[in-house]
Structure formats: structure tokens, C-alpha cells
Amino acid sequence: MSKRTELLLIYTGGTIGMVEDVETGSLHPIDFTRLEKEIPELKKFDCNISVKSLAKAIDSSNMNIAVWKELLEIIESNYELFDGFVIMHGSDTMAYTASAISFLLENVNKPIIFTGSQLPIGKIRTDGKENLITSIEIASASENGRPIVPEVALYFEYSLYRANRTTKISAENFEAFQSPNYPLLAEAGVHIKYNRFAIRGWEDKKLIARKNIIDDVASIKIFPGLRRDVFQAIANMPNLKGLIIETFGSGNVPSDTWFAEEICKLNERGVIVLNITQCTTGSVMQSKYETGVHLEQAGVISGRDMTFEAAITKLMYLLSCEELTDAEKRSYLDKNLRGEIS
């Protein structure tokens, strides 16, 4: 008899875990120890499903570094006990948390699937049931004794995405997420169709969890008319270690002299500056136009086609790697570490 798959569901908070009070109509978290009452279909899975909640479930708008650390500790301490993980998370910051976990957990070789919903699981028209049921099916799917999706991913509305390639695009549509520069890992219809070419390969390596997260980072969105003193208000933060500039098109900024001067000051202080495009699709190519060339000359690193969510969490991750030199951290920012760059 083959061993049953062991899955761990982790509830962080968010809409998916809410039910409506019959008397007041207000929403409150369900008791996840009684999850099968809300989703009786879970009994049909040929796997053992355990459930764990954070010490304090939160609205995803309140997501923070401390919660990421708690999530990392739960996964790390249970990694050898389970074959896969499904993390229920509010949709607003899910792309940030999923991207962060993809970097902060090194050598992942098991499915870690994030999911959530736009409507509470207790609502008749909820999208939460399908999202959770299919996430469990994907997390438990294996071939020849190995998981089909051995990476951190995000499932929402019939689509499985690489975690660090996602961004939330809608506050009300069920199709709330998009992967602008990378194909889907799988599509769910009558059957789940896995895009094998897009899924990372399985590696037999020991999991490493990075929990010393550096958050001395900031971002500035460039806009026409941006003043120097506004830029300086962020750039001159005393403990700043990394700055993302969100630029026009393929990585362009105004050619004002002061801008180059401020970038040079940041480099002299050892602050890593990363260039991310404001465009939904496409890539930063700093050498394409004159308005981007001076950034390259000033030492700004191209973020290529990373999402903002991936860029900010990758920056936090690399700053946390104390064994790396500053030069190595800058070098790794420009390299594909978890499939975040094409």
C-alpha cells in the first residue's frame, strides 16, 4: 500500500477564511479545525490534510516582516513531515508574501501553494472553495514519487502562477492576478494541464530558511515634475540600504543633472539602487535610450522584467545574506535566482 500524501494547510487570515454571522451579518474567521464542515469535498481527497493557523490571523493589508518570519518557521519546522503546503492568504498582499517566501526559502523541492479568494468562503458564490480545492489537488500531485510543482506558486481562478511572477490587477474580479512576463505553470479546467516547460525542476537539496530579514528599503515612483527635495526625502533616510526606482518605459528617467547627482550620492553611501519599469509588461533596458544610459553609468542595477513585488522582496532577501559582499549582492540582483527574471 502506497503512503498517503500529507498536506499542511496554513491560514494567515484574509477573505477566504471568513464566514458571515447569521444574526449580525458581519464577517468573522471560521474555525479551521472544522474546515470540512464548510468544504465537505475535502473528504474525497486521497491524502491526509492537517490545518494550522498563525498565532493571530490578520487582514493581509497588515502583512509585515514578523508574520513572514512566523510563516517561515511553520514551514521550516514542518517541512520534513509534509509533502506539500497550501497557504491561505488575503489577496491584497499575497503577491508580496508569495514572492518573499520564494526567496527566503532556499532549495524548495515541495509544492508551496498560496491561494485566497475575493468572496468569503461562507458566501454562496464564493470563489474560495474552488481555489482551495484545486490548490490542494496541485499540492498533492506527484509523478514517480516526486511532486509535479516543486516550487512556490500562487493559484487563483483556474490559473497557477510562479509566485514571484505575480501581481494583483483587480480588486473585484475573480481573475484578480496576472503573471505579465511569464507563462502559467498550470491551467485548471476539466483536467489540470501542467505546463511542464514552465515549472522548475526538482533538486535534492536541504531547505534553508532565511529569517533575518532586512527591511531598510524604499521605493520612489518617477513622475513628470518630480522635485529634487521630494526624491531626497526618501533617498536621505539614514539607514537606507536599498532603493527601487520605478521608471518610465524601458527604464528611463528625466535627464536632469540633479537626478544623476543624487544617484551618485546613493552609490557613495553604499545604497543599492534597482531600476524597475512602471509598465505591466516588458523589461528594463537601460542602454536603449539616452535617458537610461546615465543610470547604467551611475551604477544603477537593471531589474529587467521583475515585478515590483519580486524586486522589493528579492532586495530584502539579498540584503539579509550576511555572507555576501556588497558586490555579490549587486551581482545576484541581476541574476535569475528563483525564476523571477526571464
Q: Which residues are designated catalytic? A: 15
Give the SS3 label for residue 194. Answer: strand
What the block records as the C-alpha cell of 267 is 552609490
Is residue 299 exposed (0-12), middle (13-18) or buried (19+ Cβ within 10 Å)?
A: middle
**DSSP 3-state assignment of 287?**
coil
* Residue 321, φ and ψ in degrees, nearest 5: -80, 90
Q: What's at 181, amino acid-wise?
A: N
Q: DSSP assignment of 83-131, as one string? A: SEEEEE--STTHHHHHHHHHHHEES--S-EEEE--SS-TTSTT-SHHHH
What single letter denotes the amino acid at residue 262?
E
| Distance separating alpha carbons of residues 307 and 148, to the nearest angstrom | 25
**Based on the number of CB atoms within 10 Å of its own CB, is 143 exposed (0-12), middle (13-18) or buried (19 or more)?**
exposed
Work out the number of other CB atoms within 10 angstroms of the CB of residue 248.
Answer: 17
Best CA proximity match to 3, nearest among 111, 83, 76, 108: 83
